[in-house]
A and B are shown apart, each in its own frame.
Chain A
Amino acid sequence: MSKPKIAIFDFACCEGCQLQIVNLEEELLDLLGGADVVEWREAMSEKCDEYDIAIIEGSITRLEDEERLKLIRSRAKILIALGACATIGGINKLKNNFDDLDEVKKCVYGKDANKPHLATQPTKAVDEVVQVDAYVHGCPIDRKEFTYIMRCLLMGKEPEIPEYPVCVECKAKGNPCLWEYGQVCLGPIIRAGCGARCPSNGFRCFGCRGYIDNPNVDAAKDVIDKFGLNIDDLKTKMVLFGSRQEPTIHG
């Protein structure tokens, strides 16, 4: 049996997630033992149009990127969304909060705003354009989770990604809850899998792994009241990774 071919593509992102793969060190060799990486701009110069697994990093912000992504999808047997930009649109979705994208461009690029390569459209996550077979959540991704997912896929097994929120992992680590120390932590509505990375280091969860399937935003409103906070405190915390992603807080 020949080894499955993997190709890695990047769209709008900081390439921080690819960097996590580069940083796998000895496990990278294990991965390369189980599969052939045939295209990877960050680590090699060859290009190839034949692959079994396509790993997509970054979000989709231009029409031509949508076309490119659809072509990749048509060639790949399995398509993986890598990192928050790809799985939920990530930070790039911030711009979707503005109705006038030309204004956004002017603000970001100044007088270069009208150059053709800067043409833009509202940001989309990968699954808003093509079907996604596996998600590697996080900004950046968790290396251990990435290698686990790759092993599962190479074995033809569906990886088990937590459906429960960050609080589960936070409590398993014995952390006191940051809400009691005045922080607006998004842990109860955000998908676990990072090992509660932020709360374990004293920082609130800002939601980089995206919402759980069924988040209870009404409960969040009650909790805001209980701690004497304002609904805007919660809204501003949700905007970084939750922009124009359901659910939005109304009122």
Chain B
Amino acid sequence: MSVKKIAKKDFVEFVETLIRKERVFGVQAKGDRFDFAPLESAQDLRLDYDVTLQPPKKFFQPPAEVLMTFEVGGGYQSQYDDEPFVLLGVHPYDMVAINQMDELFSQDNYDTHYMTRRNNATIVACDVAKPSENVFASSMGTAVVKSGYDVLLTDIGDSYVCEAATEKGEKLMAAAKKAVPADDAALKSREAVWAKNKKGLNRHELKCDPAYLPKLLAKAYKHPVWEERAKTCFSCGSCNQVCPTCYCFNVQDDVNWDMKTGKRERAWDGCLLDGFTKVAGEHEFRKQRADRFRHRIYRKGMYVPEKIGGQIACVGCGRCVAACLPDIANPVAVYNRLIDDLGIG
């Protein structure tokens, strides 16, 4: 597939034509923060952002969605959102998270709702131009990404290097008439950005190779850190909600006024929430805050990796660090504390 170079002003023009043809979402300012939102003007696209408030998972697994409509005691009709769209500006760590979610939602029970949206998406990733306050992607090996995207953009000063990695990506970039094949200098500049980010997206430094985390956690179940930190946990679930690799959901039926028809909806859930583990008979098996707090860290560092070939399900975006009001959610702080106490190996 092809690697091109496009001047920034020509890129704006290209995005403008894109908006006219397709449904485009892109990173934009939201007050003094950034978030993904429908893109109405190319001028609003902010590829120089640090981190978005919400991860892009909402485009594949929205906070709430209707799965099907049904008749009480009768048939049902699955509901799908199958309109194609373009997602502009996904950072590498978020792309890695999407790749992980793709694996999870397509194994065992293939999730048609997630996968329909995913297959309808064209993803334009972009390398990080400005590190956020809490990013630690360098520690997690997610500062650069090699797959999953259709196009990858890298800011090299006055232009972007754009690599089309799929058919979809080639098709998209074909509309960028002013793009030229990337020369050696451009490719070198891109290498330099990658080398810089591999080290520089590291506001919290993990004291071990992420591959070691499952082994570390295997001996940490009874460690006091869970109690200590969870003492001031609100069980507010903010750390779950903002995480690109949290995908738990709750399913609920709502019957219409005719009492004959209804809809089945699913909405985000979170393992930190009181009541999350409530099952039939009101039995709750992770009633203590500390148990729920520990569970999230184990999900990221041990349970999910077991399902996806050892990949650690924390991509170091740092969103949970920023979102946790009592400052206890930072996974690196927890892992480092365990390493200090339990050692490596």
Asked whether, in the complex, the Cβ of B259 is within 8 Å of the Cβ of A34, the reply is yes
Q: How far is the CA of A219 from the CA of B235 in the complex (A)?
A: 10
Asked whether, in the complex, the Cβ of B54 is within 8 Å of the Cβ of A174, the reply is yes
Asked whether, in the complex, the Cβ of A222 is within 8 Å of the Cβ of B241, the reply is no
The prevalent SS among residues of A at the interface is helix
One of B76-84, B123-131, B172-180, B249-257 at the interface: B249-257
Contact partners of B256 in chain A: CB under 8 A:
151
One of B17-25, B30-38, B97-105, B112-120 at the interface: B30-38
Chain A residues numbered 168-208 whose CB sits less than 8 Å from any CB in chain B: 168, 171-177, 179, 187-189
One of A101-109, A119-127, A158-166, A237-245 at the interface: A158-166
Residue-by-residue, is B184-212 near A (CB-CB < 8 Å gives 1, otherwise 0)?
Answer: 00000000000000000000000000000
Asked whether, in the complex, the Cβ of A212 is within 8 Å of the Cβ of B274, the reply is yes
- Output the nearest chain A residue to B239 by Cβ-Cβ distance: A171
The prevalent SS among residues of B at the interface is loop
Asked whether, in the complex, the Cβ of A216 is within 8 Å of the Cβ of B238, the reply is no
Of A27, A157, A171, A174, the residue contacting B237 (CB under 8 A) is A171
Q: Tell me if B296 counts as interface (CB < 8 A to partner A).
A: no
Residue-by-residue, is A204-222 near B (CB-CB < 8 Å gives 1, otherwise 0)?
Answer: 0000000011111011101
Given A212-B274, A219-B234, A222-B232, CB of A179 within 8 Å of CB of B323: no
Q: Tell me if B304 counts as interface (CB < 8 A to partner A).
A: no
Q: How far is the CA of A223 from the CA of B236 in the complex (A)?
A: 13
Given A148-B254, A174-B54, CB of A168 within 8 Å of CB of B33: no
Q: Tell me if B303 counts as interface (CB < 8 A to partner A).
A: no
Q: Interface extent on A, as a size class? A: 35 or more
Given A30-B257, A216-B289, CB of A171 within 8 Å of CB of B325: no
Given A171-B241, A176-B30, CB of A216 within 8 Å of CB of B235: yes
| B-binding residues in A (CB < 8 A) | 27, 30-31, 33-34, 147-148, 151, 154-155, 157, 160, 163-165, 167-168, 171-177, 179, 187-189, 212-216, 218-220, 222-223, 226
List 12 A-B residue pairs with CB atoms under 8 Å apart, sorted by A's residue number. Answer: A31-B257, A33-B257, A165-B235, A167-B241, A168-B236, A168-B270, A168-B273, A171-B241, A174-B30, A176-B31, A226-B325, A226-B327
